[in-house]
Amino acid sequence: VSAPKTSEFARIAGIERLLGGGRAAKSRAVELGIGDDAAVLRLDGRAVWTVDAQVEGVHFLRRWLSLEDIGYRSFQAAASDLAAMGAHPICALSSLALPARFTDAELSSLVRGQSEAARQCRCPVVGGNLSRASELSLTTTLLGRVETPLLRSAARAGDELWLVGDVGSSGLGLHALVHRSRKDRNISACIARWRRPRARIAEGERLVGRAHAAIDLSDGLAGDAGHIARASRVRLVLVAELIESALASELVAAANRLGLSALELALHAGEDYALLCAGPAELRPRFARPVGHVEQGAGVWLESCGRRKKLTGSFDHFSK
């Protein structure tokens, strides 16, 4: 039995209260937020703009996530695109598609999760859209500011490859949920990473002027490295030993426990929203760990003990 649902008008007012409360993110660029046909902003200089959608049954299942988690991670996933450009968030719009049976209490949980992520990213939600649909989905669009964006196409032969943030933990967390693994502290930490990923906004901003190119890892190192290789027309060489030394200790321990390869998870499992960057070795910041290098050529290769193999394929929502 679902709780009573209020009108679309009242729902929007309720969302506005949740998003505009005392601790909510604020932005000086926002002149008018929720309530008119469009938000009104004052923007100057170079902006980056992204949109990302998370759909129930495709990107998440409610079995393993609270509605707050779903709101939180959908916002972080979208914000991660700004991090990958080195941009400072300005503000966001949120378009929600809700099943007919979705209650006001459920909507509040979803929006509280979005609001928490918006606060962490210092990126207020200034408007959006509500519609009905057969399955829950969240489409988030963000504007950010950056004078010199980090492009996928700017990697150069001779660059070092850097990893910023952890990769693989999220994939292990999901694996543990799917296979109902018995949890220990490390496995639980990986599950928490999958439930609450964090866009690397601050690090992204600090990479501007250091890295040439960047991408956020939504599909694992191998697939996302391929995007840089194609866009920059270069070869990316990932070094297994470097990746392994860069992995989080919780991931290594949890993978050991579950009989999985932490390296394989880092290469092929997604949704960590770490950043992979290419830049001159001498400019690598302390928070970035070296995981390979860029050469003339094409494709993504994995080097291990001095031998190389070609890595191919990225996660594709449309292939079987």
Number of CB atoms found within 10 A of residue 15's CB: 22
CA dist 150 and 127 (Å) reads 27
At its nearest, how many Å lie between a second copy and the CB of residue 73?
A: 15
Tokens matching residue 94: 């949120």
Q: Which is nearer to a second copy, 41 or 202 (CB)?
A: 41
Regarding 225 and contact with a second copy (CB under 8 A), the answer is no
Contact call for residue 126 and a second copy (CB under 8 A): yes
130 binds a second copy (CB under 8 A): yes
Rounded CA-CA distance 269/263 in Å is 10
Question: At its nearest, how many Å lie between a second copy and the CB of residue 261?
Answer: 25
Of 89, 113, 124, 128, the one binding a second copy by CB under 8 A: 128
Number of residues that bind a second copy (CB under 8 A): 70
The residues near 280 (Cβ < 8 Å, ≥ 6 apart) are: 158, 159, 160, 210, 212
Q: Report which of 203, 216, 266 is spatially closest to residue 239, judged by C-alpha positions.
A: 266
Strands 125-132 and 88-98: parallel
Burial letters for 279-291: b for 16+ Cβ neighbours within 10 Å, e otherwise? beeeebeeebbbb
Q: Which of 17, 26, 42, 308 binds a second copy (CB under 8 A)?
A: 42
Quick one: which of 114, 106, 100, 224 has its CA closest to 165? 224
Q: Quick check: helix, strand or coil at residue 307?
A: strand
Residues written for the chain:
320
Q: What residues from 168 to 207 belong to the interface with a second copy (CB under 8 A)? A: none
Q: In the complex, what is the shortest distance from the CB of residue 278 to a second copy, in angstroms, rounded to a whole number?
A: 14
The upper half-sphere exposure of residue 118, i.e. CA atoms within 13 Å in the direction of its Cβ, equals 31
The only residue of 131, 245, 256, 312 in contact with a second copy, by rule CB under 8 A = 131
From the list 112-120, 128-136, 186-194, 284-292, the region that binds a second copy by CB under 8 A is 128-136
- Residue among 45, 180, 182, 249 that touches a second copy (CB under 8 A): 45
**How far apart are CB 59 and a second copy at their closest, in Å?**
7
Of 220, 192, 210, the C-alpha closest to 316 is 220
Contact between 279 and a second copy by CB under 8 A: the answer reads no
CB of 69 to a second copy, least distance (A): 19
Rounded (5°) CA angle 140-146-148: 130
- Least distance (Å) from a second copy to the CB of residue 51? 4
Name residues contacting a second copy, limited to 66-95 (CB under 8 A): 81-82, 84-85, 87, 93-95
β-strand 275-279 against 307-311: which pairing, if any?
unpaired
- Residue span 91-110 as binding mask against a second copy, x where in contact by CB under 8 A, dash where not: --xxx-xx-x----------
Q: Which of 159, 216, 271, 272 binds a second copy (CB under 8 A)?
A: 216
Residue corresponding to tokens 């990958």: 84
Residue ranges in contact with a second copy by CB under 8 A: 5, 7-9, 11, 31-32, 35-55, 57-59, 81-82, 84-85, 87, 93-95, 97-98, 100, 126-135, 137, 139, 141, 143-144, 149, 151-153, 214-216, 231, 314, 316-319
